[in-house]
């Protein structure tokens, strides 16, 4: 070992001791870990929010020139700078390729890489490229977050913590690197949770869309039949109009009938369009009775087919705070269930809509066979169904949508007498 190397090692050791003795107050690691570890290990569904926590806390507590957080984008396989602080702020939103030398080295070494370690300690070409990548990330030190969990099947680099220079000009000590590695390991758990939440949300949205498409498929024939009658009437009027327009009795008949037929078609088409659209939840003031009317129009064929009498009792005087698109799906599910419960025997469905203590309450009652007591506790369980061709997802989806509206849904049923579903949605707040 050369005298120069011995001197450098001694200098580094002395520097670490000085840092520990004189700058310990600046880097109270236990305080930082205690303050932020709970946030980093708790389940969190927002990756962007999660990504901002670590760079923010480290630039503040360790007095860094900047910090950034690279997180795996599962769709592309590359890495996205989801957050940056100070000098690294401008990096936010940029993509870093998975095949970069720096990321490959992090995967291979499974430990931190520092700018000082790279300079002069690796082959020139490799060292030069790593230095360029570190400088592009405004980083003096990068710490990997590598997951060994079953979720990724194989060890996977899921994030990289990129740290700028210390404002004091000092190098990162072994104690600091150990602390940062602990922090990165804790972040790994939180990022895994966020990935799982995102996947569950995406799957949930796919399930909701598939249920909607299935319902549209079932009602298409009925919708076509319901549109056929008013279209036939409009076509007939158009054909005889030139010959009979001077007939007062004909004009009076058209004036009375045509608007109703057009409104009927409009309800069906609007209902179908609203129901089939997929978009972000948007709560706005709306008249629930209009949503219900569109749903009844969509199911008109099945209602007539089974000789079901629909009785509407609309008593509300205020608007609810709701998303028309999603509430259409709720009432489509609920009314379809009621129609199917009555079946070929027919019967009556009563729809009551009224104001109730700061809410709009919708009660849908059918005088069908009711639900067996042993099934009442399972009806909101995913995949539970008593129907031969059912998916068991209708009511769970309804419950989720109503929860998004800060409302409630309950079911009361008496075997042999019928079933009532009560949906409560808050009024528009003043």
Q: What is the pLDDT of residues 358-393, one digit of tens each?
A: 899 999 999 999 998 888 888 887 667 777 655 566
Chain CA centroid to CA 364, Å: 29
pLDDT score of 115: 84
Burial 179-208 (b: 16+ CB within 10 A, else e): bbbebbbbbbbbbbbbbeeeeeeeeeeebb
Q: What class has domain 3-201?
A: alpha beta
The pLDDT tens digits along the chain (430 residues) read 454 544 455 445 444 444 444 444 444 555 655 555 555 555 555 677 777 777 888 887 788 899 888 888 877 888 888 888 888 888 888 888 888 888 888 888 888 888 877 765 666 777 788 888 888 888 888 888 888 777 777 888 888 888 988 888 888 888 788 888 877 877 777 777 777 766 666 665 665 666 655 555 555 655 665 666 677 767 777 777 777 777 777 777 777 767 767 776 776 666 666 655 656 778 899 999 998 998 888 788 888 888 999 999 999 888 898 988 888 888 988 998 899 889 888 899 999 999 988 899 999 999 999 998 888 888 887 667 777 655 566 788 788 889 989 999 999 999 989 999 999 999 987 5
pLDDT score of 183: 77
pLDDT score of 209: 61
Chain CA centroid to CA 44, Å: 12
Q: What sign results for the dihedral spanned by CA atoms 92, 96, 101, 103?
A: positive
pLDDT score of 275: 58
pLDDT score of 294: 85
Read off the pLDDT of residues 350-361 as tens digits, 9 standing for 90 and up. 999 999 888 999
E strand residue ranges, 13-139: 66-72, 79-86, 95-96, 113-114
Structural contact between residues 322 and 286, judged by C-beta atoms closer than 8 angstroms = yes
Domain range summary for the chain, segments of one domain joined by +: 3-201, 208-426
In sequence order, which residues have a C-beta less than 8 Å from that of residue 111 and are 6 or more positions away?
A: 144, 181
**Do 3-201 and 208-426 show the same overall fold?**
no
CATH number of 208-426: 3.30.565.10
pLDDT score of 287: 92
pLDDT score of 126: 76
pLDDT score of 26: 46
Give the separation between CA 56 and CA 88, rounded to whole angstroms. Answer: 11
Give the separation between CA 177 and CA 182, rounded to whole angstroms. Answer: 9
């Amino acid at each position: 070992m050369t005298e120069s190397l011995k001197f450098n090692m001694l200098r580094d050791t002395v520097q670490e001791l000085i840092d520990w003795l004189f700058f310990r107050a600046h880097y109270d690691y236990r305080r930082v870990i205690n303050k932020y570890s709970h946030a980093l290990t708790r389940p969190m569904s927002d990756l962007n929010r999660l990504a901002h926590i670590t760079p923010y806390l480290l630039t503040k507590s360790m007095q860094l020139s900047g910090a950034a957080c690279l997180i795996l984008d599962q769709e592309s396989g590359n890495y996205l700078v989801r957050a940056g602080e100070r000098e690294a702020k401008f990096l936010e939103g940029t993509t870093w390729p998975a095949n970069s030398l720096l990321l490959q080295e992090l995967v291979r070494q499974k430990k931190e890489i520092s700018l000082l370690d790279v300079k002069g300690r690796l082959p020139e070409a490799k060292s030069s490229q790593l230095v360029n990548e570190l400088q592009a990330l405004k980083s003096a030190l990068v710490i990997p977050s590598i997951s060994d969990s079953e979720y990724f099947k194989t060890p996977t680099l899921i994030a990289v913590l990129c740290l700028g220079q210390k404002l004091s000009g000092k190098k990162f000590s072994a104690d600091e690197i150990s602390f940062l590695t602990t922090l990165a390991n804790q972040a790994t758990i939180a990022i895994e949770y966020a990935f799982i939440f995102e996947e569950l949300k995406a799957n949930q949205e796919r399930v909701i869309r598939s249920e909607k498409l299935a319902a549209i498929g079932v009602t298409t024939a009925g919708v076509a039949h319901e549109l056929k009658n008013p279209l036939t009437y409009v076509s007939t009027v158009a054909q005889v109009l030139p010959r009979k327009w001077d007939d007062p009795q004909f004009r009076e008949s058209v004036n009375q009938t045509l608007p109703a037929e057009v409104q009927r078609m409009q309800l069906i088409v609007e209902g179908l369009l609203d129901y089939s659209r997929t978009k972000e939840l948007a709560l706005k003031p709306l008249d629930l009775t209009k949503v219900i009317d569109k749903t009844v129009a969509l199911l008109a064929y099945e209602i007539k087919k089974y000789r079901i009498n629909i009785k509407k009792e609309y008593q509300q005087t205020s608007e609810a705070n709701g998303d028309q698109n999603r509430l259409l799906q709720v009432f489509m599910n609920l009314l379809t269930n009621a129609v199917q419960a009555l079946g070929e025997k027919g019967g009556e469905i009563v729809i009551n809509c009224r104001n109730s203590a700061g809410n709009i309450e919708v009660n849908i009652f059918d005088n069908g066979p009711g639900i067996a007591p042993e099934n009442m506790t399972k009806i909101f369980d995913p995949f539970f169904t008593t129907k031969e061709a059912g998916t068991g997802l209708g009511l769970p989806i309804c419950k989720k949508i109503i929860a998004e509206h800060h409302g409630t849904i309950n079911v009361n049923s008496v075997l042999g007498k019928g079933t009532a579903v009560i949906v409560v949605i808050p009024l528009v707040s003043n």
